[in-house]
Chain A
Amino acid sequence: MSQIFHRSANTIAKVTIFGAIFFIAGLLGIFDKVNRSSWMTQARVAREQPLQFSHERHVGGNGIDCRYCHTSVEDSSFAGIPPTKTCMACHSQIFSNSPFLEPVRQSFRSGLPIEWTRVHDLPDFVRFDHSIHVYKGVGCTTCHGQVDRMPLMYQEQSLQMDWCVDCHRRPEQYVRPREAVFRVDYVPPPNQLELGEELVAAYQIQKLTSCSTCHQ
């Protein structure tokens, strides 16, 4: 009885088995890349909004403090999105006839709110509290990026768990003095780690990495 398989079948089998390892590893690698890509995380992708609000103009240009609009950032888990009335505080005087601002005036007249698309959207099984982060010296721009240079708002970071945990494990890399938390022009000093260590001690920052810190 002749051999069923040609001798080359041995080589093909070896290459296939050996190659499968690389193939699977490659697949996993691609999966990981896709998972961290901005397609998945939506990082650095500007969102479509009902009107073209520019942080660059308001923060960078006019120098308005973050808390003028995001009023509850120091008191609540949620930083707050300004009610239409906050917009109208200025825009009933400035650019009061601008066609761009018609949705705002429309909202103020009709009492129907403006529906913004959420930019920073954590999964529903994660709980984040702005107030405590701000109190412990985490600056706005540390997570939200240079909003003063964002004509349209996008999310700077991946918001994935390894990004959160990076700071929760070693907060000294990122913390800044409390008085600089809301400064958009703050640049970490060259001795950040040294300063960070001091601030971690001074602000009693704990390295909270228990699951229930965020998942509750």
Chain B
Amino acid sequence: MTCEGRDVSPSGLRDGQGEWWRTLDERAGDPAFRERLQNEFPSLLPDLDALADPVARRKFLKLMGASVALAGLTACTRQPAEKIVPYVRQPEEIVPGRPLYFATAMTLGGVATGLLVESHEGRPTKIEGNPLHPGSVGATDIFAQAAILDLYDPDRSQTLLNLGEIRPWPRFLGAIRSMLQAQSPIGGSGLRILTETVSSPTLAAQIRDLLARYPNARWHQWDAVSDDNARTGARLAFGRYVGHQYRFENADLVLALDADVLSRGPGCLRYTRDFSARRRPEAAAGMSRLYAIESAPSSTGARADHRLPMRPRDIEVAARLIAAGVGVANLAADSSTLSESARRWIDAVVRDLRAQQGRSLVIAGEGQPPSVHALTHGINAALGNAGRTVVYTEPVEAEPTDQLQSLRTLAADMTAGRVDALLILGGNPAYTAPADLQFAAAMSKVPFCAHLSLYDDETSALCHWHIPEAHFLESWSDARAYDGTVSIVQPLIAPLYDGKSAHELMAATSDRPGRSGYDIVREYWMQKTGLAANRTTANDRTALEFEATWRQWLHDGVVPDTAFTPAAFPLAAREAAIPSERLSSTDLDLVFRNDPSVLDGRFANNGWLQELPKPLTKLTWDNAVLVSPATAGRLMGEYAETFEGGELVSDVVEIRHRGRMVRGPLFVVVGHADDCLTVHMGYGRTRGGRHAVGAGFNAHAIRTTDEPWFATDVQVVKTGDRLSLACTQYHHLMEGRNMVRAATRDAFLRDPQAVHESPGIEAMPPRTLTLYPEWKYEGYKWGMAIDINACTGCNACVIGCQAENNIPVVGKAEVLRGREMHWIRVDSYYRGSASNPETYFQPVPCMHCENAPCELVCPVGATVHSHEGLNDMVYNRCVGTRYCSNNCPYKVRRFNFLLYQDWETPSLKLVRNPDVTVRSRGVMEKCTYCVQRINAAKIETERQDRRIRDGEVVTACQQACPAEAIVFGDLNDPNSRVARLQAEVRNYALLGELNTRPRTTYLAAIRNVNPELVD
């Protein structure tokens, strides 16, 4: 398969000498990289080689001939008869064929994100953010987008079990009654309730009510995704639990200490929106500057203007240095463990912070110990930021607790036999509890364990009773947002499997066990507002008032005036007393992080999230032991990426820590801090669904309570085993051209054209360079602008697109062959050294080229241009030659090599968008610019005899994006947002030199660097 001229680089291709790179072998100019570059689907190559063999060729032709003949026969089918099933009594608000939207909310770590859910004839199909909700502002994260798949997951627990036997709900009620009767005389001293973080006022009231009736019972909380360190840190600083909110709109300078604040944690969507608004170089308010010190690379670190990789233990030293530098009283710092360059970096940041008093913001991450959180509060106070860029409020949690301590107490009580009954409301503590607690063993000492959960998981297996939980889209509840705003969680569908909510389970412990979740939540708020307190008749005015108020809350998705008012909380003035973590000095640290896609394992059975390339590592279906290139070299001897048959193969290592060990594949991540490893939790599940079980390794197994976020004294041993990793960073390589354009802010302000003046950037060909006459686009002319400067690589667009466009999951084996089906992918590009490169994210959907190379080569006219400039893909015409994909320079076309879509599972049929064709085997597909949304808007507006206004058509990726990095609209309207963005100086076309004239263009990234830190 070699051909003449193969070694001659096409124009713009500079064999590994490029400024930009995606993989280490590309950076090194490895010949193996060039080989991989040529093979879009490496796994196909052996078959092609076989064609050169005459015998195999004959066989191939025979098979192909037979296939063609048979393929013709299979087309000879008539449409099967279909049924139409109308309502018996049609609900008034339902117009068949038109979706309805309902506001609800999803909680993660107890904190709510407001959502709007699309419902087709009572079937929820798509989740979007609620623009009225302060924590969502219309955007969503990947978890909210993927929650719809969880709802319809066929592996969800469907029956109530007692010791593995199916039992009816009344039987459980009987069991819990007799348990409570036994507890009654002793005041419930053997009763324990374990919940995740609770912000629901109703649930908290129910639990407190139980505790009032059983005064000796205890309420424990354990939530593996809740920021325990922030809570404890706040108590350390203020002497009590205090909540905080950041005001990125006021911050000219942000310093993140191991904090991935843009992609994780309470309010991250709102923070991303506010932050990216301050990052536009054109904005009048000026561009803010972001510094990040972190161990494992994160989205926030990638967006930072200056990033310092550092072992997590050293970050505390850095925080102390900074605190001392900005004048936090009585604080001494010993910087001897830091390198000279790190000290210089920190000094420069301190000078910058001092210059930006009251306009700067220092943030600590969940992985940093409470002392660092306390220090940041001290730093922000010393800089005068408190009340300006960070405000303090009451905590969002109904009952803030040191959850690690809470879990420790519970485990100790259980082991000592002091617990007679344990009610677990959600969560999977048997899997997520640190290994040294021996939580599973402790549970076996409890005579009555009941577990409410979505899946029959590790904890359920150890409990006497397992109660299927109602999904949040099936149940009534309430929850607080990051700023305290209450949302009523309303169901979109009746429980599919007769699941119960935590409210209903708590009601089972009360004297009114049969109450529905609706009654419980409504009654709570009725009492709270006092509106219907004196209700006497059905015509009572107060009742009507409550009904109207309640309906307004449900409609808006927020309860007005429930946000906490910021207040001034005095620092406990004990900064000097903040304990310094005493760490033994070892040469290798181990960092624990929740997985970016499946978190602590709660989303492990979600195929969309499993197959989502994780930000920066681009791994799918696995977790790995992340390590920097230098440390990999030190641990493994000579280290280089190895490929077998196009698959990335990795060495499996054994991590030993305090007598415990796990085995996992080593994976090199550029920009990772040296001398430490990062492992993601949430994998290595043993129960809980088909996708959850068998993927990755369980990092919880070596996690301990005294070192929950980073462990010292770790050994790594080579095992000799190897494992293929489905990493998409190596897929869809687009030659070595300049895909990303970036400049510093100063250079950009001096000469805006600077972004387009880097070596290797070629001029766009003139518009006359074509034989075809110029086509005039009358009417609409759709286009998209993607701001690389705003993109945080959070992947919300990828899942949003997958949910909207019925994109199938293909599985690890197929991803290894480069056959993932995502219509939009987020590429990451690096520049500079492998130890600490600049990182940029580039979402790549179909470019909808005006001169589309794919259209010219299709022999059956299955991909053609529409009158509005869309590159249409006609599935029913496609015969699967894949010429189009071959000819696409952007590698955005996806082929259904197999029947990836699940046509059989009944519950999965419900998740599909009825407006988008479900594709079958042998068909090419790609981004359509959400043509179904364009058509819907066109029909809507034409029935009103007007044009579509700017912003009326929003693509799924654009709608999900918290950073507003993606803007779609009509280019024929000069005032549309997209037209104005495309007119900006930063705008450029990807591979524009190929004369493809893409409709999707990019805005170059601008870094606001500190001149002091530029070499």
- Which of A's residues lie within 8 Å of B, judged by CB? 39-40, 42, 47, 71-72, 75-78, 80-85, 107-108, 111-118, 121, 123-125, 127, 129, 131-132, 135-136, 204, 206, 208-213, 215-216
Contacts and interface: CB of A to CB of B under 8 A. Distances in A.
Contact of B872 (A77, A82, A215): A215
B874 A78 contact: no
Given A76-B98, A204-B942, A215-B872, A83 B918 contact: no
A127 B935 contact: yes
B582 interface: no
Nearest to A136: B942
A118 B942 contact: no
A123 B876 contact: yes
Interface stretch (B76-84, B699-707, B783-791, B983-991): B76-84
23 contacts: A78-B96, A81-B86, A81-B96, A83-B88, A85-B87, A113-B85, A113-B87, A116-B84, A116-B85, A118-B81, A118-B82, A123-B876, A131-B939, A131-B943, A210-B865, A210-B870, A210-B872, A211-B866, A211-B874, A215-B876, A216-B915, A216-B916, A216-B917
A35 to B, nearest CB: 9
A121 B377 CA distance: 65
Contact of A80 (B81, B96, B939): B96
Contact of A121 (B79, B864, B875): B79
Q: List 9 A-B pairs, minimum CB-CB distance, nearest first.
A: A78-B97, A210-B866, A76-B97, A83-B87, A81-B86, A211-B872, A83-B90, A118-B82, A212-B872
A83 B94 CA distance: 12
A129 B87 contact: no
A55 B99 CA distance: 29
A75 B872 CA distance: 27
B86 A210 contact: no
A133 to B, nearest CB: 10
Nearest to B942: A132
Given A85-B90, A210-B868, A210-B870, A124 B83 contact: no
B896 to A, nearest CB: 14
B86 A116 contact: yes
Contacts of A84: 86-89
A115 B48 CA distance: 52
Contacts of A77: 97-98
B937 to A, nearest CB: 12
B84 A85 contact: no
Given A80-B96, A124-B918, A85 B89 contact: yes
B729 interface: no
Given A81-B86, A116-B83, A135-B943, A75 B931 contact: no
A160 to B, nearest CB: 12
B511 interface: no
Contacts of A113: 85-88
Contacts of B96: 72, 76, 78, 80-81
Chain B interface helix/strand/loop/mixed: loop
A111 B88 CA distance: 6
B751 interface: no
- Residue from A71, A113, A211, A215 having most chain B Cβ neighbours under 10 A: A211
Contacts of B870: 210, 212
B620 interface: no
Contacts of B917: 124-125, 215-216
Contacts of B78: 39-40, 42
A206 B915 CA distance: 22
Given A83-B86, A210-B868, A211-B866, A72 B95 contact: yes
B866 A123 contact: no
A114 B85 CA distance: 6
A113 to B, nearest CB: 5
B928 interface: yes
B932 interface: yes
A127 B86 contact: no
Contacts of A82: 86
A124 B82 CA distance: 11
Interface string B868-884: 10101011100000000
B100 to A, nearest CB: 12
Contacts of A47: 81
Nearest to B863: A211
B4 interface: no
Given A204-B942, A210-B870, 7 more contacts: A80-B96, A84-B88, A113-B87, A115-B85, A129-B939, A209-B867, A215-B872
Contacts of B868: 210
- Residue from B79, B82, B88, B98 having most chain A Cβ neighbours under 10 A: B88
B7 interface: no
A76 B99 CA distance: 10
Contact of B935 (A39, A115, A212): A212
Given A83-B86, A127-B935, A215 B875 contact: yes
B945 interface: yes
A76 B95 contact: yes
Contacts of B931: 212, 216
Given A135-B942, A210-B866, A114 B98 contact: no
B432 to A, nearest CB: 43
A114 to B, nearest CB: 7
A196 B762 CA distance: 52
Interface string B909-921: 0000001111000
Contacts of B779: 206
A211 B931 CA distance: 11
Contacts of B932: 127, 216
Contacts of A80: 86, 95-97
Interface string B482-499: 000000000000000000
Nearest to A39: B78
Contacts of B874: 211, 215
B884 to A, nearest CB: 14
Nearest to B862: A211
- Residue from B84, B90, B98 having most chain A Cβ neighbours under 10 A: B84
A110 B917 CA distance: 35
Nearest to A207: B867
A58 B876 CA distance: 38
Nearest to B805: A216
A193 B623 CA distance: 67
Given A131-B943, A132-B942, A204-B942, A81 B84 contact: yes
B866 A212 contact: yes
A55 to B, nearest CB: 15
B876 A125 contact: yes
B90 to A, nearest CB: 4
B494 to A, nearest CB: 15
A111 B90 CA distance: 11
A216 B928 contact: yes
A85 B88 contact: yes
A114 B86 contact: yes
Contacts of A213: 866, 935
A210 B89 contact: no
B297 to A, nearest CB: 39
A140 B872 CA distance: 30
Contacts of B89: 83-85
A47 B876 CA distance: 27
Contacts of B876: 123, 125, 215
Contacts of A75: 95, 98
Given A215-B874, A216-B928, A132 B81 contact: no
A72 B866 contact: no
A117 B83 contact: yes
A214 to B, nearest CB: 9
Nearest to B866: A210
A118 B931 CA distance: 27
Contacts of A108: 88
